[in-house]
Amino acid sequence: MSKQLNSGPAIILVEPQMGENIGMVARAMANFGLGELRLVSPRDGWPNEAARATAAKAQHLVDGATVFDTLEEAVGDLSFVLATTARQRDGFKPVYGPVEATRALRGRVEADQTTGILFGRERFGLSNEEVGRADAIVTFPVDPDFASLNIAQAVLLMSYEWMKAGMADENATRFSGPDTTPAPKEELHGYLDHLETALNARGYFRPVAKKEKMVDKLRAVLTRPGFTSGEVKVLRGILSSLDYFSPNEPRGMGYPERKQAADAPRMQRQPATASERNAGGQTASGQVAGERIAGEQSETGSDDA
């Protein structure tokens, strides 16, 4: 047997019963960078097409698996072996949890020692004699009333801990969410002022004596998320549509009075275009200039959504 590549412990399945489980073991290994699969007397023979079918792009591990007649041969070239079990065994072997176990494996692999992890049969795991051939035991913190794990699940857990033990930051992820900057307070407060005005016009603040406290709570809820400028624009667009228009007066069908009042300050600051002046304040689409100006906020919000 050639010297084990220094890429992690060998995964050793002792008399695995189903080819499908072997394929899923290979998939779990590939997920977390383990590259050596050893099989001891697989029940259904080898090679096994069921294993290839369930390997999900990890067929290279199935095709590269080494088959042994006995456990002694499978671990013969290894210097440190862990045995996985959910049952307490007689003897004086050290017992590790998966985190401590994989850290110990990392140290040995980095010291160019050959290592392996034993996994038993689907039906009853490893025998006492087989556990006795390992250097230490690793067990999972499972519910004692239901401690049995599928073999692929057990391999997945150990493979995950192996990968995590080699990371400089155990909380690191392969990708992250977008960097976001909260909107300027002016934008957020403008939205909150608009919301308060709209709710007040519809009699939301009842009884009136409690309005101040209700406004405080409303602002506390809406300032907590740290909305971006784009998100505030979406909210302003939604609020504008609900506040100024209705099913009987949808956008483009007129110029509601409340919208005229809201647009008046902006209209005074922003002169109409030449075409709007020539048309007496009416745009080519039939919207008055004031609706176009005030509607910009709503349209921008829709685009950002």
Q: If pLDDT is split at 50, 70 and 90, which confidence band does 291 have?
A: very low
CA distance 121 to 18: 9
Contact, 116 vs 75, CB < 8 A? yes
Q: What percent of the chain has pLDDT over 70?
A: 86
The ranges assigned to domains in the chain are 10-165, 185-304
CA distance 281 to 62: 75
Q: How far is CA 49 from the centre of its chain?
A: 32
pLDDT digits (tens, 9 = 90+) for 189-242: 999 999 999 999 899 999 999 999 999 999 999 999 999 999 999 999 999 889
- Phi, psi of 96, rounded to the nearest 5 degrees: -115, 155
- Give every CB contact of residue 36 below 8 A, 6+ residues apart in sequence: 4, 5, 7, 8, 9, 10, 11, 64, 66
- Phi, psi of 276, rounded to the nearest 5 degrees: -70, -35
> 10-165 architecture in CATH?
3-Layer(aba) Sandwich (3.40)
What is residue 275's predicted lDDT score, i.e. its pLDDT? 54
User: Prior bond to 144 cis, omega within 30?
Assistant: no
